[in-house]
Structure 1
Amino acid sequence: MTTDAPPPAGDKDLGPAQPTTEAFVEVQESAEFAELRRTYRSFAFPLTVAFILWYLLYVLLSNYAGGFMGTRLFGNINVAFVLGLAQFATTFLIAWFYARHAAEKLDPRADALKSRMEADA
Structure 2
Amino acid sequence: MPRTHRSRGRKDEPGHGEIKSMRTAAAHRRKGVAAALVDHIVAEAHARGLTRLSLETGTHEFFAPARALYAGRGFVTCPPFVGYTDDPHSTFMTLAPVPARDPQGDVVELSERLPGA
Higher Rg: 1
Q: Which has the higher contact order (CA 8 A, sep 6+)?
A: 1
Determine which structure has the larger helix proportion and give its number. 1
Determine which structure has the larger strand proportion and give its number. 2
Q: Same fold (TM over 0.5)?
A: no
Question: Normalising by structure 2, what TM-score?
Answer: 0.26
